[in-house]
Amino acid sequence: MKKIIGTLLLLAALCNAYALPSADSLKPYKEIVPATAVTGKSFITVHQVNNRYLFEIPDSILGRDLFTVNRIIQSPQDWRNPFSGLCSYGNDWIGQSMFRFRRAENNRIMLQVVSTSERTSGNDLSASLERNNTDPLYAIFPVLAKSPEGAWVIDMTDFLNSDNSVFGYMAAIKMLAMPGTFAADRSFLNSVKAFPANIEIASTRSYSAGNTTLTGLYNSSLILLPKEPMKGRLTDERVGFFGIVPTDFRQWNDDGTVKMAANIWRWKLEPRKEDMEKYFRGELVEPEKPIVFYIDPATPKKWVPYLVAGVNDWQAAFEKAGFRNAIFAKEVPEGDTTFDINDARHNVIVYKASAIGNAMGHSLQDPRSGEIIESHIQWYHSVQEILYKWYLTQAGAVDTAAQKPYFSDELMGQLIRFVSSHEVGHAVGLRHNWGASSTTTIAQLRDKKWVEANGHTPSIMDYARFNYVAQPEDSIGEAGLFPRIGDYDKWAVEWGYKLLPPGTAAGAEAPILDKWIVDKLKESKRFRFGIGDDPSAKFPDNQREDMGDDAMEAGKYGIKNLQRIAPQLFNWVQTPGATYNRVEDVYKALVAQYEWYIKHVTANVGGVQFTPLTTSQNGDVYAFFPRSKQRRAVEFLNKELFATPEWLRNRRLYELTTTDFTIVTDLQKRTLKQLMDAKEFDKLREAQISGDADVYQAGDLLNDLYKGIFEELQSGADISPERRALQRAYVSNLLGLLEEYKDKEQDAGSVVKDHAKQVMAACKAVANKTANQGNKLHLGPLAEMLSARLEKPMEMAKQRASQMQ
Ligand SMILES: [Zn+2]
């Protein structure tokens, strides 16, 4: 007990005051900062004296929120992060931090990291929040001298040169990037440069992992956050913005628990003072500070115009929010040697010589308000490779420009422009809208006039790459094949960026923002935001890589196109003198595309339509898919997947590359397993207990699958090796389900048992009477396997019972 009291006293002492040991007496300023010092002025003045870096911190900066963003600038070629190379290429973000300098007793300056994960906005919990929390102390610096103006001079060298999360890796990123153990003996500061709005710190850091060393060049940008944070706008699940999610004690759920309330990420766009009146009259005005992206000077010249266009395309969206020329890209002026892509003052599309096929729209936000401070879009060179495969497999049957081993610069440029726009969408705060493309009908996707005018998806933030539903006979041009910034994107920017009328009371904001959404969604479903894409795909309308309002119809047309492309692979992709690796790659991409169509349809079984609503709207949040639609999904799978898709067999490719048909048969078995699973039955049961009469049940699913997979039992046709394997997989899944439900009193268990008996009886009957020797040899053992599981235990039980009598 005594010990506890002692600890408490110690804690009390720590909490009450920062009573620190007394510092050495201050030295004269000139002695610490001699005339030979190299000095740079920013919100903090930086002096370089020999190899030491001194920060001169004025009183006005003490207690202010400072922000660092840390990046790796160069790293060894042989060292790339195993997780997709993340956090190991030049300009990759590795961490950020918000902190304050504060004065402590005895001429000390403390560096405290500020957390924003909990907050309150002036209700009766603020005192409690303050009393419960303190900010971690990352460093204490003795004051060496005071400047003639009264600023505090401290030596930051050792802290800047150490492995800490304020100026280096965040803990989570370090675990991901795995650079090894910090090696202080091979680490040093390169430079600390002061600019009016930021301080840039460059360092060389080494890390040891086993007997190898990672030495990288790192950069930290230090900026001063605005004294008054920008006014936040709370996220709403009906419009897809990213948000910083703190626990906000302002917001309460009905049961008194705390709600997570997030501010959306957005740039601070405001009209100039003299334009305010015009803006609120509804006239377009230029923002005081537009969003400007620079193109990395290391970008191959031929792609620059397309990357620029991808940024500028967003201007139309910002016009909906009342701003003209709100966003644009430009090249770094020729001969500008001071430009640095890592500088926190610039937003840059950074081009990386990398074999990774990706691009990322990354931005940094003021944690207090969601204000986007800067954005660096990471562009990996090999994004071109995935663009080639996507466009060839999705639009190759329709657009002759795609029927080539390499696309023309103009076509590839337009594809780059689309990815550029998508990434910029993230950089202005927008999340993926997985549901957008499901608002277009199949008929619209095939209607040349409509789709060329409106685009195949209302959002470029969906993963709805190219209009694969369009058929050659529809004669749809690239305008109807390419995604573009659409109705939803423009609306989302309008909702996030349009200013509320001046003088709007704090309490009046939420109803206005809600009304905007309610009115817009009444206008058209094209403004819908759809979240919920996940591997189990409970919400089939919100899937990635899909399009149209009916996955079965879309898949049918998608497959028709793949069937046109598959026989042409060698003609279109192979170049003289090259190996067959590329054809093999594209073939695999084609099968992967086919797999998407299968997945989209599979998700319809047990599918739920999800529509986030508030009380100001009518309708259902959850609605189960009707029985007829789910039945159509299984019929589709029987026809397009389980009946062997011979068109995907490529014997020539097998002879040249050994890529065989198991890539397809594995997909059959995976899909069958997914459907014949207790989890799938649970989904169906959920619909059943909802009381809806029009439900698809586990028995329906099994019967429908059986009809397709054991079709030969009716027709008497030869059962091919692939089909035999599939039927064996079916029986094996049934046995698995019987085992799963063995000790469970559940309806699904009885349904499975009953179904297994029917399958057993059917296999046995056909095996007994067929003259087809192959079928007999296959079906007989299947019936026996089921019988061993279903009948033998009963026989044994009967025997045991008779022995007891
Ligand atoms: Zn994205």
Ligand 1 center to residue 225 CA distance, Å? Answer: 28
Ligand 1 center to residue 526 CA distance, Å? Answer: 19
Which pLDDT tens digit goes with each residue over 689-708? 766 778 898 999 999 999 99
The pLDDT of 290-311, averaged and rounded, is 97
Ligand 1 center to residue 585 CA distance, Å? Answer: 23
Ligand 1 center to residue 437 CA distance, Å? Answer: 15
Alpha helices per DSSP H over 195-314: 276-281, 304-312
Ligand 1 center to residue 360 CA distance, Å? Answer: 7
Structure tokens, 468? 């694969």
Q: For residues 280 and 323, what is the distance between their CA atoms, to the nearest angstrom?
A: 11
Structure tokens, 518? 């309610």
pLDDT of 18 > 80? The answer is no
Ligand 1 center to residue 359 CA distance, Å? Answer: 8
Ligand 1 center to residue 72 CA distance, Å? Answer: 23
Q: For residues 685 and 251, what is the distance between their CA atoms, to the nearest angstrom?
A: 35
Taking CA 244 as the corner, what is the angle to CA 486 and CA 160, rounded to the nearest 5 degrees?
A: 120
3-state secondary structure of 35: coil
The count of C-alpha atoms lying within 13 angstroms of the C-alpha of 733, restricted to the half-sphere facing its C-beta, is 24
pLDDT of 301 > 50? The answer is yes
Based on DSSP, count helices (H) and strands (E) in the chain, helices before strands: 27, 25
Parallel, antiparallel or unpaired: strands 327-331 and 258-260? unpaired
CA-wise closest residue to 229 among 353, 350, 366, 131: 366
Chain-centre distance for alpha carbon 86: 14
Ligand 1 center to residue 256 CA distance, Å? Answer: 36
Q: For residues 579 and 581, what is the distance between their CA atoms, to the nearest angstrom?
A: 6
Ligand 1 center to residue 535 CA distance, Å? Answer: 17
Q: What is the pLDDT of residue 249?
A: 65
Ligand 1 center to residue 596 CA distance, Å? Answer: 18
**Phi then psi for 140, rounded to 5 degrees?**
-125, 125
Ligand 1 center to residue 306 CA distance, Å? Answer: 18
Ligand 1 center to residue 607 CA distance, Å? Answer: 25
Ligand 1 center to residue 316 CA distance, Å? Answer: 20
Parallel, antiparallel or unpaired: strands 247-252 and 118-119? parallel
226 confidence band (pLDDT: 50, 70, 90): very high
Ligand 1 center to residue 376 CA distance, Å? Answer: 14
CB 85 within 8 A of CB 356: yes
Q: At what angle do helices 627-637 and 698-709 cross, to 10 degrees?
A: 30
Per cent of the chain over pLDDT 90 is 67
Ligand 1 center to residue 436 CA distance, Å? Answer: 14
Ligand 1 center to residue 135 CA distance, Å? Answer: 35
Structure tokens, 804? 């007891």
Quote the DSSP letter at residue 401. G
Distances (CA, A) of 9 to 5, 12, 149, 660: 6, 5, 39, 73
Q: For residues 776 and 772, what is the distance between their CA atoms, to the nearest angstrom?
A: 6
CA-wise closest residue to 116 among 293, 220, 235, 243: 243
Ligand 1 center to residue 97 CA distance, Å? Answer: 25
Strands across the sheet containing 347-352: 327-331, 291-295, 347-352, 372-380, 359-365
Ligand 1 center to residue 416 CA distance, Å? Answer: 14
Which pLDDT tens digit goes with each residue over 170-215? 988 888 888 889 999 999 999 999 998 999 999 999 999 888 888 9
Write the CB contacts of 536 (distance below 8 Å, at least 6 apart in sequence).
679
Ligand 1 center to residue 358 CA distance, Å? Answer: 10
CB 54 within 8 A of CB 46: yes
Which pLDDT tens digit goes with each residue over 258-282? 666 788 999 999 999 999 999 999 9
Chain-centre distance for alpha carbon 761: 49
Ligand 1 center to residue 51 CA distance, Å? Answer: 44
Looking at per-residue confidence, does 54 or 338 come out higher? 54
Ligand 1 center to residue 419 CA distance, Å? Answer: 9
Distances (CA, A) of 404 to 396, 399, 657: 9, 11, 21
Ligand 1 center to residue 461 CA distance, Å? Answer: 6
Q: What is the pLDDT of residue 97?
A: 95
Ligand 1 center to residue 395 CA distance, Å? Answer: 21
Ligand 1 center to residue 490 CA distance, Å? Answer: 17
Ligand 1 center to residue 546 CA distance, Å? Answer: 15
Hey, CA dihedral for 390, 394, 398, 403, is it positive or negative? positive
3-state secondary structure of 707: helix
Q: For residues 500 and 234, what is the distance between their CA atoms, to the nearest angstrom?
A: 13
Which pLDDT tens digit goes with each residue over 666-692? 999 999 999 999 988 887 877 777 667
Centre a 10 Å sphere on the Cβ of residue 652 and count the other Cβ atoms it contains. Answer: 11
Ligand 1 center to residue 73 CA distance, Å? Answer: 24
Ligand 1 center to residue 431 CA distance, Å? Answer: 7
Ligand 1 center to residue 349 CA distance, Å? Answer: 15
Q: For residues 433 and 622, what is the distance between their CA atoms, to the nearest angstrom?
A: 18
Which pLDDT tens digit goes with each residue over 316-364? 999 999 999 999 999 998 888 888 888 888 999 999 888 888 888 889 9
Whose tokens are 């009380």? That residue is 615
Ligand 1 center to residue 772 CA distance, Å? Answer: 54
Domains by residue range for the chain, with CATH: 23-224 (no CATH), 273-549 (3.40.390), 642-804 (no CATH)
Whose tokens are 């005071």? That residue is 146
Ligand 1 center to residue 762 CA distance, Å? Answer: 50
Ligand 1 center to residue 599 CA distance, Å? Answer: 20
pLDDT of 15 > 80? The answer is no
CB 657 within 8 A of CB 584: yes
Ligand 1 center to residue 380 CA distance, Å? Answer: 14
Centre a 10 Å sphere on the Cβ of residue 420 and count the other Cβ atoms it contains. Answer: 29
Which pLDDT tens digit goes with each residue over 469-509? 999 999 999 999 999 999 999 999 999 999 998 888 877 88
**Phi then psi for 323, rounded to 5 degrees?**
-115, 130
Amino acid at 620: D
Which pLDDT tens digit goes with each residue over 621-653? 777 888 999 999 999 999 999 999 999 998 888
Ligand 1 center to residue 422 CA distance, Å? Answer: 6
Ligand 1 center to residue 428 CA distance, Å? Answer: 12
Ligand 1 center to residue 361 CA distance, Å? Answer: 7
CA-wise closest residue to 404 among 537, 549, 569, 270: 569
CB 377 within 8 A of CB 360: yes
